[in-house]
Amino acid sequence: MLARIVRLAVVMVCAAVGSVAGHAAAAPAVGRNPVLVIGGYDADQGKLESLRTWLGARGYPAYSMVLLGNPTGTAAIADSAHAVADKVAEIRRETGAVRVDLAGHSMGGLTQRHYAKFLGGSDQVGTYVDFGTPELGEPLGWLCSAWSQGCRDLAPGSEFLTELNADPAVPPGLPAYHLFSEGAGGETNSLPGATNRSIQSFCPGRQVGHADEPVDGAVRELIDSALRGGPLTTSCP
């Protein structure tokens, strides 16, 4: 996400209107909540779909979506949170599930947390997982803030983040996990009320680029173990 924000800030003026794209996986497995994978700023949809497919092969009814805006995530994060709410409602209608698990990458984590905290999501979400999410914001958001409300929301100290991080940061009683890569900027900040663990605490010395987190084998296994209720485990493939 970070490198792409820099590139986009230099070379383009983005549109503020976008669309949400969703993809479904195989039929539900008994005892598993559906899981919705949510991309971040300028998300690589191929990587999101790869993670969705991997989770589907593990027995989850798995779906994916991107945020609003062109590129994705440039619209207001709160607007994208409403799109998440709509997608969760659609999944619940389709599957008959009472709750849907969430796995949001980068800005996708902030979006799903707004949904869980302010849009009634705490009653509809089973397990909350974010990975690579800058919980307190990312300074590079200022570089594209002139034309993107999403970037303004992402910048540290924004009104959006101030409201989102007011106590409690996560709705009480919601099982929540924050996974991050050490040395990767804003994502290393902890999420109060969640289990916070770095990838390197399981796989010492592992190099995981921010954009590659959705396709990293260790990250995937940590997400899977979180969705199963923990403890967090990975074989560091």
Q: Which amino acid is at 111?
A: T
pLDDT of residue 78: 98
CB-CB contact of 152 with 77 (8 Å): no
What is the residue type of 126? G
Q: How confident is the model at residue 88, as a pLDDT?
A: 98
Q: What is the pLDDT of residue 185?
A: 85
Residues 168, 90: Cα–Cα separation, whole Å: 28
Q: Give the single-character DSSP code of 15.
A: B
Provide φ and ψ at 177, rounded to 5°: -135, 135
E strand spans, 95-172: 100-105, 125-131
What's the one-letter identity of residue 217? G
10-residue mean pLDDT profile of the chain (237 residues): values are: 44 34 43 95 96 97 98 97 98 97 98 98 97 96 94 97 98 97 91 98 97 98 97 98
pLDDT at 140: 87
Query: What is the residue type of 82?
Result: H
165 Cβ contact partners less than 8 Å away, ≥ 6 residues apart = 135, 136
Tokens of 174: 């919601």
Q: What is the pLDDT of residue 142?
A: 92
- CA angle at residue 190 from 185 to 194, to 5 degrees? 140
Amino acid at 22: G
Position 90 scores a pLDDT of 98
Q: What is the pTM of this model?
A: 0.88
Residues 190, 9: Cα–Cα separation, whole Å: 27
Cα–Cα distance for residue pair 97/45, rounded to 1 Å: 25
Q: Which helix (H) or strand (E) holds 47?
A: helix 45-57
Which pair of tokens denotes residue 140?
Answer: 């590079």
Alpha carbon distance 63, 83 (integer Å): 14
In 3-state terms, the chain is what percent helix, strand and coil (to 5)?
Answer: 40, 15, 45
Q: What pLDDT is stored for residue 1 in this prediction?
A: 52
